[in-house]
Amino acid sequence: MSAGQFAVFGHPISHSLSPQIHQMFARQFGIELEYRTIDAAPADVEASVRAFFANGGRGANVTLPHKATAFAMADERTEAATRAGTANVLTPLAGGRLAAHNTDGSGLVRDVTERHSVDLRGHTALLLGAGGAARGVAWNLLDAGVHTLTIVNRTPETADVLADDIGEPARAHTRYWEDLADLGAFDLIVNATSAGVLGKSLDLPFAIVGNRALCYDLSYGVAATGFLAWARTAGARYAFDGLGMLIETAADSFEVWHGKRPDTDPVYVELRKQFG
């Protein structure tokens, strides 16, 4: 059974695991599909995406740095995409129109609560970063029951905008990055910064890591190693990278496109072998 053409857009994008993940999903159902990476510079991505769909593309994943552009291009948007103001999935509608989805937050929560069996209810959470990655997960963390969400960003104005958009000052608020050492300990620390991807150190204080803390980096592989090493040294109970989140978000898009929910566990086990 053939299911058409699919792609992931990014810049750079050659490192993406999405083609491998979607092929592994497709084999579970006997589906044959073409899934490729498309490297598009920011100035060219809209034209590239529209050309892809005009030539019969059935669905696209979108990653850095194009998630805001994908959201802006869309004619219809899911609630999750609207809240975040970004999109990681695009699907075609009639007449050349596009629908935008954001599955980042649901993928993160499912990885933490189902794969790693950690209940987030009642947790005090620290969100490092306030850009597109942070916006993609902030609301879902609150929906999952975290008690408070403290947002800290190098540019405090960006954090303030995110907190204002959430609109729950009793639960979601901002603090200054310079004051991290004085904020107390947290049960959940999510690294949504681009530091690891850029090869930079966050230089975080150990004092923010609570006794039962779960530290989670939205990146995976080499990009997450620095943060995870810091978390383990600080005594975190759990330290996870974002590989499981990536697979879960891919499963969400696969289900949107094919109407079938793949089993993510064997894919996670196989890819975990590659990334340790």
Query: Active-site residue among 67, 200, 260, 273?
Result: 67
169 token code pair: 């000052």
Q: CA triplet 187, 189, 194: central angle to 5 degrees?
A: 180
E-state strands within the chain? 2-10, 32-39, 57-62, 76-77, 89-92, 98-101, 124-128, 148-153, 172-176, 186-191, 209-217, 238-240
Pairwise CA distance, residues 85 & 107, whole Å: 17
Tell me the C-alpha distance between 110 and 35, whole Å. Answer: 24
DSSP-derived 3-state class of residue 157:
helix
Q: Is 67 a catalytic residue?
A: yes
The span from the CA of 49 to the CA of 33, in Å, is: 18
Per-position b or e across 216-226, b if 16+ CB within 10 A of its CB: bbbbbbebbbb
Q: Which two tokens stand for residue 74?
A: 């869309």
What is the three-class DSSP state of 207? helix
Q: Which of 260, 257, 199, 272 is nearest to 5 (CA)?
A: 257
Please list the active-site residues: 67
